[in-house]
Amino acid sequence: MSSSSKPLEPVCLITGASAGIGAELARVFATHGHRVALTARREDELNAVADSIAARGAPRPLVIAADLGSADGIEQLARALAAAGVEPATLVNNAGFGLVGDAARIDRDEQLRLVDLNNRALTDLTLRFIDSVTRHKGGILNVASIAAFLPGPGMAVYHASKAYVLSLSEALHEELKEDGVRACALCPGPSPTTGFFSRAGLPADCFPAGLMRDAVSIARAGYDGFMGGHRVVVPGKPSRIVTLLPRLLPRAVIRGLGGWRWRRKRRAPM
């Protein structure tokens, strides 16, 4: 950047922001005074979220439609941010999806697309913008899941992808804290108010009702924990209990319980 160039404006970039937890995170960050940039594939839905934020009196977020799972989606996003004169001071990696079924039976390309979005894109964005985040002493909030703590027969690749997100986030928390940068993993349980269930092919009653939380409360807990410097945020006591199971029970037992539950679900009519 030359000395005559205008400095880039810091923003909070939120991926997967067209609905569900991503949209609610956008609302809560905007409510607390952050300039927000939204990205996802569906531009119409992004604009609806941006309009709802502006209607509450906050500045209208920047909207950038991009498919982060595609080969050039992240490059397109980066160019659009630069063209708008902004750079991430806070990065919220929320984009992702799940799949249900035996790994040997689900379409391989679809499972690799899951890894591309849940892991490769998240890592690319994190490394690409880590300098601007550090320069602004901002932070990185990665949306993982309580699935990150457990092996997941019936959703094997999804659980593994979220374990990666949790591990990366915890390591970054340690690496970046001396630079005054936050890094946090938000690990919610299932939420019926997102599109996750339909995208993954899950029935609405797949999980115990006690684990369910709405996207609004998840986003608020995530924001508060992130701004408070927490390493991991798990909204809701039942979900926190689930994350403790690997400490209380042998791994073989945890794995066996997951396999037993999946076999029952597989036999039950959908």
Per-residue confidence (pLDDT) for residue 82, from 0 to 100 = 97
The pTM score is 0.89
Q: 9 to each of 46, 65, 133, 158, 220, how far by Cα in Å?
A: 21, 20, 12, 35, 25
pLDDT given for residue 16 in this prediction: 97
CA 187 – CA 210 distance, rounded (Å): 16
- Best CA proximity match to 84, nearest among 140, 13, 181: 13
Per-residue pLDDT at 264: 61
| Residue 40 pLDDT | 98
Alpha-carbon torsion 62, 63, 67, 69, what sign? positive
Question: How many Å apart are CA 54 and CA 35, to the nearest integer?
Answer: 11
* Fold classification of 9-267 (topology level): Rossmann fold (3.40.50)
Contacts 24+ apart (CB under 8 A), 172-180: 172/126, 172/140, 173/231, 176/134, 176/140, 177/229, 179/134, 179/137, 180/137
Q: Rounded to the nearest 5°, which phi and psi values hold at 188?
A: -80, 160
Cα torsion angle, 233, 16, 63, 1, sign: positive
What residues contact 222, with CB distance under 8 A and at least 6 apart? 21, 25, 141, 143, 184, 186, 188, 233, 235
Q: If we measure between CA atoms, which residue out of 270, 111, 110 comes closest to residue 206?
A: 270
- CA angle 3–64–6, rounded 5-degree value: 10
The tens-digit pLDDT sequence of the chain (270 residues) is 444 577 899 999 999 999 999 999 999 999 999 999 999 999 999 999 999 999 999 999 999 999 999 999 999 999 999 999 999 999 999 999 999 999 999 999 999 999 999 999 999 999 999 999 999 999 999 999 999 999 989 999 999 999 999 999 999 999 999 999 999 999 999 876 555 555 555 555 556 666 768 999 999 999 999 999 999 999 999 999 988 988 887 777 777 666 656 666 665 544
**pLDDT of res. 137:** 98
